[in-house]
């Protein structure tokens, strides 16, 4: 697969993933965080605010891999 096509697919996947991820984290926060302490809220938002980096980092690594040369 050409690098340009991989970047297009990766960009679209990133936007879709981050949109869904943000919506799910917001729903989770509304359900779990009311009535909790500020420290719990800080840990929640810090954890989920950084957790998206791992899957997107793997996706970026895949996007940057050069195309396989035909044998």
Each residue's pLDDT tens digit, 36-68: 999 999 999 999 999 999 999 999 999 888 877
Integer Cα distance of 42 and 29 in angstroms: 11
In the prediction, which pLDDT does 50 show? Answer: 95
Angle between helices 3-32 and 38-51 (to 10 degrees): 160
pLDDT digits (tens, 9 = 90+) for 14-31: 999 999 999 999 999 999
Which contacts (CB < 8 Å, 24+ apart) does range 36-45 have?
none
Residue 6 to residues 30, 41, 50, Cα–Cα distance (Å): 36, 37, 24
For residue 10, what pLDDT band results from cuts at 50, 70 and 90?
very high
């Amino acid at each position: 697969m050409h690098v340009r096509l991989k970047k297009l697919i990766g960009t679209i996947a990133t936007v879709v993933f981050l949109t869904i991820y943000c919506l799910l984290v917001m729903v989770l926060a509304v359900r779990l965080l009311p009535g909790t302490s500020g420290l719990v809220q800080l840990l929640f938002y810090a954890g989920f605010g950084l957790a998206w980096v791992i899957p997107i980092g793997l996706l970026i690594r895949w996007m940057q891999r050069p195309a396989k040369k035909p044998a």
